[in-house]
A and B are shown apart, each in its own frame.
Chain A
Amino acid sequence: MNLEEQLKLQALLDGELPPAEASEVSGRIGRDPAAAALLAELKHTRQTLQQAESPRRLQESRELYWSKIERDLRRFSPPSPARSESGLFFKLRLLILPTAAVAALIIVTLAGHFYPQPVVQRKTADADATTVEPALASTDAMTYRDASEGTTLVWFSDKTATVKPTGTNRVN
C-alpha cells in the first residue's frame, strides 16, 4: 500500500472522500488486511486524541482574542527604519529648524550692524555741505573746501570791510 492509498484511508475516516471513491476504498479494505489494520489504527488514534485532549474555551470573544494577538505581534515586531527616531534623517530634521531660526537671528543681527553703514554714508553725503549761519546780518561768510585733505575753511567777514585777510590770489 503506497502513500496515496494510506492518505485515502485517512480521508475516508475523516469523511472527505466523494461517495464513489469512498465505496471503492471501502471495498479495498475488505480485500486488503493491511489496509483494514491501518484503518483500525487510525480510528484508535483519533479516539484516543478526542478523549485525552480536553477542549479549551475562551473567556472573551473570538474577535477580541485575535485582536490581542495582533496587538502583541505589532508590539514585538522590530520598528521600521524609516520611523526610527535615532535615524540620520530624524536627527537632521531636529537640527534644521533650530539652525534655521538661529541663522535668521544672525542675519538680522548682522544686518543691524552693517546695513546702517551705507545709510549713514548716504546721509553724510547729503549733509556734507557745510551750513553757515552768520551771527549778524552785516556779516558775510565764505566757505572753501579742500577735499583731498578733508579740510573746510569758513571765513566770516564784515560786509562793510574793505580789506580781506584772505589771500584771494590763492583761491582756485
Chain B
Amino acid sequence: MKPISLLVGLLLALGLTGLTARAADGDLQLEAQWILGSNDNPAKGNPVAPEIEKKLKRLPLKWQHYSVISTQTLTAVRDTAKVVTLGTGCEISVKNLGNERVELTLAGRGKITQILHKGQTLVTGGNNDNSIVVLRQAD
C-alpha cells in the first residue's frame, strides 16, 4: 500500500473516532439512588455499595449506617430534563447540561448544578428527613 493511501486511511479513522466521541459526549449514563440513613445496626434494607458507604461515612452526616431504598439508572440526553421518581415523596429531575455538567432538582427543595465526572458523587438531602439522594455516573 502506498504511503499516501495509508495517511488518507489514518485521517478517515481519526475523523470517525472524533465523530463517535462527539456522539458519546451527548449522553450521560447516570445512577440515582435513594438512600436511608440510620444509626441502627444493622441497617434495614439493601446495604449500599462499599464505595458509596465509604464516601458517605466521610461526610458530616449524623448517621452511621445506610441502606438503599431504590436505584434507578437513566440516560441523560443533553439539554433534556428527565424526571425520575425514586419512591413515594422522592422525585428528582436530572438535566444534562453538556460536558458532564448536570442539573439536579429536588422537588420542593432546590436546584443543584454540578460537574459530575466519572467517580464523582453528588449527595443531597434536607432536614426533617433521614433519606438522601446520591447521583453519580453509572459504571
The answer to whether A165 and B59 touch across the interface, beta carbons within 8 angstroms, is no
Question: Which residues of A sit under 8 angstroms from B99, Cβ to Cβ?
Answer: 120, 123-124
Chain A positions within 8 Å of B17 at CB level: 113
* Bound: A130/B99 CA distance, A: 15
Q: Is the CB of B123 within 8 A of A109?
A: no
CA distance A166 to B110 in the complex (A): 18
Please determine whether A152 and B109 come into contact, CB atoms closer than 8 angstroms.
no
Residues on the B chain within 8 Å of A166, using CB: 60-62
Complex partner residue of B112 from A131, A151, A167, CB under 8 angstroms: A131
Tell me how far the C-beta of A163 lies from the nearest C-beta in chain B, rounded to whole angstroms: 7
Kindly provide the distance from the CB of B1 to the nearest chain A CB, expressed in whole angstroms: 14
Residues of A within 8 A of B41 (CB): none
Residue of B nearest to A163 (CB): B127
Q: Which residues of A are found within 8 Å of B4, using beta-carbon distances?
A: 98-99, 102
- Residues A158 and B113 in contact, CB atoms below 8 Å apart: no
Give me 29 A-to-B residue pairs in the complex whose CB atoms sit less than 8 angstroms apart, sorted by A's number: A99-B3, A102-B4, A102-B11, A106-B10, A106-B11, A109-B11, A109-B14, A110-B14, A124-B115, A132-B110, A132-B111, A133-B110, A135-B111, A139-B110, A139-B126, A146-B55, A146-B59, A150-B120, A151-B59, A151-B122, A154-B123, A156-B109, A157-B126, A157-B127, A165-B129, A166-B60, A167-B60, A170-B59, A170-B61
Contact residues, B1-49 vs A (CB, 8 A) = 3-4, 7-8, 10-11, 14-15, 17-18, 21
Are B110 and A141 in touch, CB under 8 angstroms? yes
- Chain A residues closer than 8 Å to B101, beta-carbon distance: 127
How many Å lie between the Cα of A166 and that of B55 in the bound state?
Answer: 15
Q: Are A109 and B15 in contact, with the CB atoms below 8 A?
A: yes
**What is the minimal beta-carbon distance from A154 to any residue of chain B, in angstroms?**
4
Q: What residues of B have a CB within 8 angstroms of the CB of A102 in the complex?
A: 4, 7-8, 11
- Give me the interface of A with B, judged by CB distance under 8 Å: 98-99, 102, 105-106, 109-110, 112-113, 120, 123-124, 127-128, 130-136, 139, 141, 144, 146, 149-158, 161, 163-168, 170-172
CB-CB < 8 A to A110: which residues of B?
Answer: 14
B45 → A minimal CB distance (Å): 19
Q: Is residue B114 within 8 Å, beta carbon to beta carbon, of the partner chain?
A: yes
Q: Tell me what chain A mostly uses at the interface: helix, strand, loop, or mixed.
A: mixed
Q: Per DSSP, are chain B's interface residues mostly helix, strand or loop, or mixed?
A: mixed
Contact B121 A149 (CB under 8 A): yes
**Contact: B113 with A131, CB < 8 Å?**
yes
Q: Is the CB of B112 within 8 A of A130?
A: yes
Query: In the bound complex, how far is the Cα of B66 from the Cα of A2, in angstroms?
Result: 136
A119 to chain B, nearest CB (A): 10
Q: Is the CB of B60 within 8 A of A170?
A: yes
Query: With the chains together, A123 CA to B98 CA distance in Å?
Result: 12
